[in-house]
A and B are shown apart, each in its own frame.
Chain A
């Protein structure tokens, strides 16, 4: 009988391959280009509006940053939603499950790879924020706030995508449910401004990690508040990131070939 070493930490190999699949000949590059075009359009529009005095200087930066955070997190969600159900649909999941790498390692590697889309989106955002924020001393704070809030939201949404993907029997179901969940999270932003006030309205904004995170970005970038002054708005993005990551990895560690988790 042969002597075989069982790899205890196989996730780096999974991560490496996932990054290759995503960025070399995969969708990562195309999504990056599409994101750049979107940011260019947004930057052009907000810069034009500023030129016409429709928007304050700081508001242009805030608007561009909020779009970058929302779309960057959306990309992470989509990559997460494809992580397991995509393999299941292509028939490649069984061969991965047949390796000695733990299911937690497989899911973890895929989750981290999904976050690379957010990292790339943020890197693309940097020059736009610099361009829009020149002269008002807001670039550093904007980028730092965007990085923190965006990362928390990207981790939350990528985990949500992976969680749905673990249970979904098809990729279409996984992507549809993930997008539906994302739209539901954006609902509070569409409420009339009157409904966003009062304890119920503010409570809703605070509970929803996306609205709470974007509200926090606005407070720092537009209102020039300190990092710690409104930190309570970061509570729900942080809780969402921790809880969703834990649940997604927990479900992933028991994922089944046919969908769902082992009892």
Chain B
């Protein structure tokens, strides 16, 4: 069985500017692939190439086994929520979905049934006869998701679906994304800036930077491979801070220790990259010398740290 999406060395150039340089990855049906990257990393261009809006300047890709040289066949099997998609203000939600279902070759009766079903699924059935001009941002995004599903796609591309939504709207949107993958068995490619939600939602992550894939794997794999610097906050009894600082500096794998001057006993410890072992060694070094540890909090090694490390934004 072929991958839902498979890209091999895909690149796209705008004049002299290379927006996507070497995009290679494969993703299977039912997976949710988070596509991350800083602004200008090439996420939207990559999605536009994979959805056949733009032709690749070089490289090849397939969607559900269909080569990119058959764009109409690919478009028949994908659903897309574009990043900056607009909506016809004078159409009703129901009319909008029926039209798009018709564009996918559905009969009038089928289009009506599909529109009703999808509007109910995204919670807009009550507003199906209202003009889109009166919809809120969140309602429009949900309508956009429904539009992306009118053809029962095998692959769904969502470009910044939570953009401009409040926290409740973001959570609702991500729950919808999970449901698409779970209940429809579709592969979802999700481009977003919400790293915490990506950690919860995506089964795999692709990090793009300057048009290149800099990481591809699960959240755990990426945070490990990124070897993002970790830090910890340690509290010892007041008066023991200087001694604790000296002991910790001697431990291999500890990059830096900041000892406060305010007698609070709080020490800021920064570990070297790949410093997983040194965390334990630091604690052992202190307890062996009978220094009481009042609190210990490990920070870092999260997706956000890996993201920053890999995109050279630190």
Knowing A6-B73, A91-B86, A262-B55 touch, does A1 contact B104 (C-beta < 8 A)? no
Partner of B147, one of A2, A20, A25, A95: A95
Q: State whether the Cβ of A99 lies closer than 8 Å to any Cβ in chain B.
A: yes
Q: How far is A5 from B90 in the complex, measured between Cα atoms in Å?
A: 29
Q: B77 and A2: CB pair below 8 A?
A: yes
B73 surroundings in chain A (CB, below 8 A): 6, 100
List which B43-81 residues lie within 8 A (CB) of chain A.
48, 51, 53-55, 64, 72-73, 75-78, 80
Contact of B103 among A90, A91, A96, A257 (CB under 8 A): A96
- Inter-chain CA distance A95–B84, complex, in Å, is 10
B214 interface hit (Cβ, 8 Å): no
Shortest A9–chain B CB gap in Å is 9
Closest CB of chain A to B85's CB: distance in Å?
6
> Does A26 reach chain B (CB closer than 8 Å)?
yes
Residue from the list A20, A21, A94, A100 in contact with B82, Cβ < 8 A: A94
Closest partner residue, chain B, to A7 (CB atom): B105
Establish whether residues A95 and B64, one from each chain, have CB atoms under 8 Å apart when the complex forms.
Answer: no
Residues of B within 8 A of A4 (CB): 76-77, 104-105, 151-152
Residues of A76-130 contacting chain B, CB below 8 A: 90-92, 94-102
Chain A residues near B95 (CB-CB < 8 A): 20
Contact B105 A5 (CB under 8 A): yes
**B75-103: contact bitstring with A at CB < 8 Å (1 yes, 0 no)?**
11110101011111111000100011011
Closest to A13 in B: B102
CB distance from A250 to the nearest CB of B (A): 18
Provide the residues of chain A in CB contact with B75, threshold 8 Å.
98-100
> Is B234 part of the contact surface with A, judged by Cβ < 8 Å?
no
A5 cross-chain contacts in B, Cβ below 8 A: 76, 105
Say whether A246 faces chain B, with CB atoms less than 8 Å apart. no
When A1-B77, A4-B151 are in contact, do A99 and B100 touch as well, CB less than 8 Å? yes
Interface of B is mostly: loop
Any A CB within 8 A of the CB of B160: no
| A-side contacts of B29, CB under 8 Å | 1
> What is the CA–CA distance of A14 and B76 in the complex, to the nearest angstrom?
16
Interface: A260 (CB within 8 A): no
Cβ of B154 under 8 Å from chain A: yes
> Which chain A residues lie closer than 8 Å to B102 at the CB level?
13, 16-17
Q: A17-B99, A92-B88 are in contact. Are A100 and B53 (CB under 8 A)?
A: no
Q: Is the CB of A95 within 8 A of B100?
A: yes
Residues in B neighbouring A1, C-beta threshold 8 A: 29, 64, 77, 154
A201 sits at the interface (CB 8 A) = no
> Chain A contacts of B54 at CB under 8 A?
257
Alpha-carbon distance A262/B71, docked complex (angstroms) = 14
Using known A-B contacts A21-B88, A98-B53, determine if residue A2 contacts B154 with beta carbons closer than 8 Å.
yes
A259 at the interface (CB under 8 A from B): no
Separation in Å of the B74 CB from the closest CB of chain A?
9
CB distance from A190 to the nearest CB of B (A): 38
CB distance from B35 to the nearest CB of A (A): 17
CA distance A6 to B75 in the complex (A): 9
Bound Cα distance A13, B75 (Å): 17
In contact, B103 and A25 (Cβ under 8 angstroms): no
Q: Of B53, B80, B152, which is within 8 A of A2 by CB?
A: B152
Q: Are A21 and B90 in contact (CB under 8 A)?
A: yes
Contact (A10, B105) CB under 8 Å given A26-B90, A99-B100, A100-B73: yes
CA distance A1 to B95 in the complex (A): 27
Question: What CA separation (Å) do A101 and B104 show in the bound complex?
Answer: 7
Whether B72 pairs with A90 at a CB distance below 8 angstroms is no
Contact in complex: A7, B88 (CB < 8 Å): no
Q: How far is the CB of A20 from chain B (nearest CB, A)?
A: 8
- Please indicate the chain A residues that have their CB under 8 angstroms from the CB of B151 in the complex: 4
**Distance between B282 CB and nearest chain A CB, rounded to angstroms:** 52
How far does the alpha carbon of A217 sit from the alpha carbon of B103 in the complex, in Å? Answer: 41
Given the interface pairs A21-B88, A90-B86, the reply to whether A6 lies near B105 with Cβ below 8 Å is yes
Interfacial residues, chain A to chain B (CB-CB below 8 A): 1-2, 4-7, 10, 13-14, 16-17, 20-21, 25-26, 90-92, 94-102, 257, 262
Q: Which 4 A-B pairs have the closest CB atoms?
A: A91-B86, A7-B105, A99-B103, A13-B102
- Residues on B facing A (Cβ under 8 Å): 29, 48, 51, 53-55, 64, 72-73, 75-78, 80, 82, 84-91, 95, 99-100, 102-105, 147, 151-154
